[in-house]
Amino acid sequence: MVLNPVLGKLVSKRVVLASASPRRQEILTNVGLRFEVVPSWFKETLEKSSFTAPYEYAVETAKQKALEVANRMHIKHMRTPDIVIGADTIVSVDKQILEKPVDKQDAYRMLSRLNGKEHSVFTGVAIIHCHSKDNQLEMEVTDFYEETKVKFSELSEELLWEYIHSGEPMDKAGGYGIQALGGMLVEYVHGDFLNVVGFPLNHFCKKLAELYYLPSKHNIQHKKYDSIPSVDTFENLSDGESSNFTERKVASKLDHSGMHSSGAAYTSENTSAVRTGFTVPLENQNAVSQSAPKLPSKILELMDGFRASKALFVASKLKIFDHLKDKGPTKAVDIANYVGASVCGTERLLDACASLGLLEKTPQGYSNTDSANTYLTSDGKYSLHGYIIHSNDHLWPLFTNLEFAVKEGSRQNHRAFGKKADDLFKDYYHRQEVKQRFMAAMHSIARLTARDVATAFDLSQFKSACDLGGCTGALAYELVQVYPNLKVTVFDLPEVIANTSYFQPSGQHTAPVTFVSGDFFKDNLPEADLYILSRVLHDWPDEKIHVLLSKISAVCKPGSALLVAETVLDEQKTHPSVAVLQSLSMTEGKQRSSSEYKQLLEKYGFTDVQIKITGNLLDAVLCFKKNLSL
């Protein structure tokens, strides 16, 4: 969501972040900015002694990083970006500049210098507006810096080495990351915290406000690389105040050849114009004041959502995240060879994944982000791979026929798969690969939600539980970990039970979990103090639910309980949207609100209905059987 009109100004523009830093990507993504990531190849080798102050070095490096990307994109005949953002973060102590350590000794040297002292973190930022005119690239450069003061506590050698061995210092200026373990070293921070993490967001927004909103150039008091912006705030700006930033452009001597032109560059104002290879004043440029309507960023995001989903699905299907797991940066051509796909197509897909924050791209190649390693590789404990493949192979074709589903009021299995719903359901259990895909999908969601469901209520009073339709046993295994005295029976169809061994967790005592096959609509239910229905009720029509809840109610002894795990809708039934959207492809079942679950469960003799919204994909409903028989 774009919270203020300043960032809204960038929504329709092709914005490129010339940085490989995952922190910068995250900071800008978090505020709803949409951008591509093209890491800069500019080597951070400017001669430090030629700068009179450390921040000048950071500003110049940021500028050179952004200029390199803007030029490269233009030369490679990629569509010229509208805006390129570059940044460089340095740590400065005793007038010395510390960048990223090259090895552990270097990290130790840096951290020892910071130990017990206050230092400054400077981030230089360059915003380059690009125009392609007669195939010539014109660029207008705006830059600024932000300073934050940070003080380290007195730290022991042992602690410093322990921190270094954590591996965290290596890709961070000054050899520490304040946002993670390094935060423990810090006594205080004066100034913008995000500036330390790599991007001064507040100053950036103020700078955009200056560029896009200040009424005329006469009002601008450009300061010589002043870290204090001309605007105090970027709030309450309306498009009525908008003006084209080129109105306020001033020419300056800026050399973008990659070398810092000592003396000249830092007497310039902080907005300047560059034509590739030349310095061009912009004072005569036409400046048209535009008042555009507020950009519907949410709608734009939805319009594009399908592309992003499909890129994720295809990369998962091709097992790109598996291939990159535990690997250093890998070139597109090697990935293409591995997956047996075209190099150009693979490169496009990899770039799309990088722009979505699923991969990191550096000049050395592509690598998994942390979340790709955790959630997108197929063998991770919390892997969503199974559900992603199910979404691609099963849900995508159904949603392609959504228009028919809405018009005809029925699920579109016949159109999507050439089969009726019943035949398809049989496929889940009879065709091996379909069955495994379905089980892997259910397993993905169960793993991700199991801890929150298991701990939503204190279940330690129960000695035995029966998870009806418990599939791979993911929730059961979590329950016996949380409640060591509990024994859980997983009850599911024979075809499912026959395939559960593949999903058994390794390195866990599995004896308290047993698997029993049967049909919960027809067969006797195993005895238990606690029955569990996880993601079952929403799937079935009222008649089937009647059969199931009547059976459970009948076997429940007084004091026994039923735990239901479902996404609980709000009373208006419009949130959470993940559940409302799921309803679009449902046949006979439905999602329910808190009051509907309460009403339903009370109807079958359950009382004390308690509902816990977990914040995860599944919520939990617990109710108890009183001495009532139906």
Ligand X SMILES: Cc1cn([C@H]2C[C@H](O)[C@@H](COP(=O)(O)OP(=O)(O)OP(=O)(O)O)O2)c(=O)[nH]c1=O
Which residues participate in catalysis according to the annotation? 88
- Whole-angstrom Cα distance, residue 331 to residue 138? 31
User: Smallest distance, Å, CB 65 to ligand X?
Assistant: 6
- Whole-angstrom Cα distance, residue 233 to residue 328? 42
Which two structure tokens, joined as six digits, stand for 223? 């300061």
User: Smallest distance, Å, CB 30 to ligand X?
Assistant: 14
Question: Considering beta carbons, is residue 179 or 616 the nearer one to ligand X?
Answer: 179
User: Smallest distance, Å, CB 64 to ligand X?
Assistant: 10
User: Smallest distance, Å, CB 186 to ligand X?
Assistant: 8
Phi, psi for 362 (deg, rounded to 5) = -130, 170
Question: Considering beta carbons, is residue 151 or 612 the nearer one to ligand X?
Answer: 151
Question: Considering beta carbons, is residue 62 or 372 the nearer one to ligand X?
Answer: 62
Cα–Cα nearest to 56, from 199, 266, 271: 266
Phi, psi for 459 (deg, rounded to 5) = -105, 15
User: Is the separation of the CB atoms in 492 and 536 below 8 Å?
Assistant: no
Question: Considering beta carbons, is residue 7 or 91 the nearer one to ligand X?
Answer: 91
User: Smallest distance, Å, CB 115 to ligand X?
Assistant: 15
Burial of 291 (0-12, 13-18, 19+ CB in 10 A): exposed
Which amino acid is residue 623, in one-letter code? C
Cα–Cα nearest to 353, from 36, 78, 84, 79: 36
Rg (CA), the chain: 29
How far are the Cα atoms of 203, 444, 446, 485, 499 from residue 472, in angstroms, in the given order?
Answer: 51, 10, 9, 21, 8
- Whole-angstrom Cα distance, residue 65 to residue 42? 5
431's CB contacts (< 8 A; 6+ apart) are none
Q: Sort residue 77 into left (φ over 0), alpha (ψ -120 to 50) or beta.
A: left
- Whole-angstrom Cα distance, residue 200 to residue 4? 16
User: Smallest distance, Å, CB 403 to ligand X?
Assistant: 44
Question: Considering beta carbons, is residue 207 or 443 the nearer one to ligand X?
Answer: 207
Given the rule CB under 6 A, which residues bind ligand X? Answer: 19-21, 23, 39-40, 44, 65, 87-89, 91, 100, 121, 171-174, 176-179, 182, 196-198
User: Smallest distance, Å, CB 446 to ligand X?
Assistant: 35
Instruction: Give Cα 52 distance to the centre of its chain.
Output: 40
- Whole-angstrom Cα distance, residue 578 to residue 582? 6
Question: Considering beta carbons, is residue 119 or 394 the nearer one to ligand X?
Answer: 119
Which two structure tokens, joined as six digits, stand for 558? 């007084």
Strands 561-566 and 530-534: parallel
Which two structure tokens, joined as six digits, stand for 345? 């197509």
- Whole-angstrom Cα distance, residue 178 to residue 198? 10
Residues written for the chain = 630
Packing angle between helix 542-555 and helix 594-603, nearest 10 degrees?
Answer: 60
User: Smallest distance, Å, CB 272 to ligand X?
Assistant: 21
Question: Considering beta carbons, is residue 196 or 620 the nearer one to ligand X?
Answer: 196
Instruction: Give the three-class secondary structure for 148.
Output: strand
Which two structure tokens, joined as six digits, stand for 264? 């000249």
Question: Considering beta carbons, is residue 197 or 530 the nearer one to ligand X?
Answer: 197
Question: Considering beta carbons, is residue 20 or 320 the nearer one to ligand X?
Answer: 20
User: Smallest distance, Å, CB 150 to ligand X?
Assistant: 8
How far are the Cα atoms of 15, 92, 198, 433, 616 from residue 358, in angstroms, in the given order?
Answer: 18, 32, 20, 27, 21
Which amino acid is residue 428, in one-letter code? Y
Question: Considering beta carbons, is residue 31 or 189 the nearer one to ligand X?
Answer: 189
In this structure, is the dihedral angle defined by the CA atoms of residues 49, 52, 53 and 57, taken in order, positive or negative?
A: negative
Which two structure tokens, joined as six digits, stand for 183? 């935060």
Question: Considering beta carbons, is residue 88 or 210 the nearer one to ligand X?
Answer: 88
User: Smallest distance, Å, CB 283 to ligand X?
Assistant: 32
User: Is the separation of the CB atoms in 66 and 19 below 8 Å?
Assistant: no
Tell the residue number behind the tokens 């799921």, with chain if given.
Answer: 582
User: Is the separation of the CB atoms in 515 and 473 below 8 Å?
Assistant: yes
User: Smallest distance, Å, CB 128 to ligand X?
Assistant: 14
